């Protein structure tokens, strides 16, 4: 379902749509890797399905959250 249609169906402001774009814009500017936010953005913009997003996250190489 396209974002505009989902927003119309919900009938309320969907804050995550605007927020995730702003978050990802800042992440790119500061070279920060945010795979969950990136997946959410791609799902919201219809680039991937939620299942594809989850599979991509689970397929990532495991690494420490903070460099040691």
Residue 64 located in a structural domain: no
Residue 68 located in a structural domain: no
SS3 62: coil
Q: What mean pLDDT comes out for the span 15-27?
A: 90
Residue 42 located in a structural domain: yes
The whole-model pTM stands at 0.78
Residue 38 located in a structural domain: yes
Residue 65 located in a structural domain: no
Q: What mean pLDDT comes out for the span 38-53?
A: 94
pLDDT of 63 higher than 90: no
Residue 25 located in a structural domain: yes
State the residue range of the domain holding 29: 3-59
More confident residue, 48 or 1: 48
More confident residue, 15 or 18: 18
CB neighbour list of residue 57: distance below 8 Å, 6 or more residues apart: 35, 36, 39
Q: Are 16 and 40 in contact (CB under 8 A)?
A: yes
- Count structural domains, the chain: 1
- Give the distance, in angstroms, between the CA of residue 11 and the centroid of all CA atoms in the same chain: 22
pLDDT of residue 68: 66
pLDDT of 13 higher than 80: no
* Pick from 27, 68, 31, 40: nearest CA to 57: 40
């Amino acid at each position: 379902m396209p974002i505009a249609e989902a927003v119309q169906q919900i009938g309320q402001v969907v804050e995550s749509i605007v927020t995730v774009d702003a978050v990802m814009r800042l992440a790119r500017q500061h070279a920060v890797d945010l795979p969950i936010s990136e997946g959410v953005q791609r799902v919201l913009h219809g680039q991937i399905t939620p299942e594809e997003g989850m599979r991509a996250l689970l397929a990532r190489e495991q690494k420490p959250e903070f460099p040691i």
